A = this chain, B = another copy of it.
Amino acid sequence: MSHNTFGHLFRVTTWGESHGPALGAVVDGCPPRIAISEAEIQAWMDKRKPGTSRFTTQRREPDEVRILSGVLPQEDGTLLTTGTPIALEIQNVDQRSKDYGDIKDRYRPGHADFTYDLKYGIRDYRGGGRSSARETAARVAAGAIARKVVPGMSVRGALVQIGPHKIDRSRWNWNEVDQNPFFCPDAQTATVWEEYLDGIRKAGSSAGAVIEVIAEGVPAGLGAPVYAKLDQDIASLLMSINAVKGVEIGEGFDAAALTGEENADEMRMGNDGKPLFLSNHAGGILGGISTGQPIVARFAVKPTSSILTTRRSITAQGEEVDVMTKGRHDPCVGIRAVPIGEAMVACAIADHYLRHRGQNG
C-alpha cells in the first residue's frame, strides 16, 4: 500500500531499524472491545526471538513488547482494545555496531546494500536498516492482535523443507512442531535437518527453507474476485518477508502438472447438512474468496546471504573486493520465518474479515 504500511481496514505500519533505540508497529482499525494482553503478544514474540538454539543468530534480544496506546485497562487488569490505534514498541538492546564497521562500504552479495545505496544514496550499514530481519519482530506483534480479530481462527505454521530435505507429509504431527528447534512437524526429518544444519553451520555456509502456514476457522466469503483476492494479499505479505523468493497457495506450482479432474475439489453435502469439499487442492480459496476450508500457504526462503565464505563483490566506490560477513547470523533464516509467516497470514485474513463485514454487512 504505502512503503511501510499494509492492510486496508486492519492496517499495520511498522518502523525502526536494527540499530536504532527501538522499533515498533502501529495497528490501526482493530475493532474495539477485544481483550488482549502484553503476555499474550509476548508469547508469539518469544517464538520468533533469536538465540534460542544454535541454529539461530546468537544476538540476544529480549524483544519485550510494550503496548503504548489503543487499550483501556479494566478493573480486573485485562486490557480491552478501544478501536483506536494500538502502538507496539520493542526496545533494541543488543546492538554491536562494531561488527559492521568493515562492511560499511562493501556490498555484501545477496544483501540489499547495493540496492539501498542506489535507491536512497544513504544507508544505515549497521545491520541492514529496514532490511534487517529485526523489522519482523513488529510484524509478529501485530499478528498477535490480528489473531484476535477473527473469532475462532487459528493460524499455525511449520517448516517443511530445509536445503534439499523435505519432510514426509505422512508423518505430519502438529505436536512435534514445538519439540524441535525447527518448527518441524516430522520428528524424523528434524533429525536429518539437525545434522544437515550442523554441517552447514560449521562450514560457514547457510541453507534455504520452505514454510507452510495453515489457517483454520476462517469464515467463507472473505476476499474479492479481482485485485483484493485473499490469496493475493497473503502472497503479497508473505513475499514482503525478508529473503522470500516464492509463494504458493494450495497445490501451488504442483497444480501446473495436474489435470482439471485431479485439481478441482469436488463437493458433497456433509452429515451436518453443510457443504463439504472432498479435497483441498485449492488451499481454501476459490476465485480469490475463502471457501471455509483451511487456508494453506507456503513460501520459500533463500539461504542466509551472510556467510563466512569469501565472495566477490565491489565497494560503493567501485573497487573490486572480497567480502566475508562476520557477525552473528542465522545459518537458516527460514526457521525464524515460521512465526512471521503466521503473523502475515493472520493479518491478511483479519483485514479481509473486516472488509467483508464492511461491504457485505
Contact = CB atoms under 8 A, between A and B. Distances in A.
A32 to B, nearest CB: 4
A239 B238 CA distance: 12
B260 A205 contact: yes
Given A1-B8, A4-B28, A286-B111, A245 B255 contact: yes
Contacts of A318: 269, 273, 275
A355 to B, nearest CB: 6
A359 B31 contact: yes
Contact of A122 (B15, B82, B268): B82
A5 interface: yes
A354 B268 CA distance: 35
Contacts of A285: 115
Contacts of A302: 251, 255-256, 258, 263, 281
Interface in A156-194: 161-164
A314 B277 CA distance: 10
A236 interface: yes
Nearest to A224: B3
Contact of A15 (B70, B110, B206): B70
Nearest to A16: B69
A225 interface: yes
A342 interface: no
A360 B119 contact: yes
A253 interface: yes
Interface string A75-89: 000001111111100
A314 B266 CA distance: 9
Given A4-B26, A263-B110, A311-B261, A225 B15 contact: no
B288 A208 contact: no
Interface string A293-305: 0000000111111
A84 B128 CA distance: 12
Nearest to A126: B72
A57 interface: no
25 contacts: A1-B227, A2-B9, A4-B28, A9-B359, A14-B226, A15-B70, A16-B68, A23-B69, A24-B87, A32-B121, A32-B359, A83-B122, A111-B287, A115-B285, A119-B222, A130-B225, A163-B257, A231-B239, A256-B302, A256-B334, A267-B314, A268-B314, A269-B318, A275-B314, A281-B302
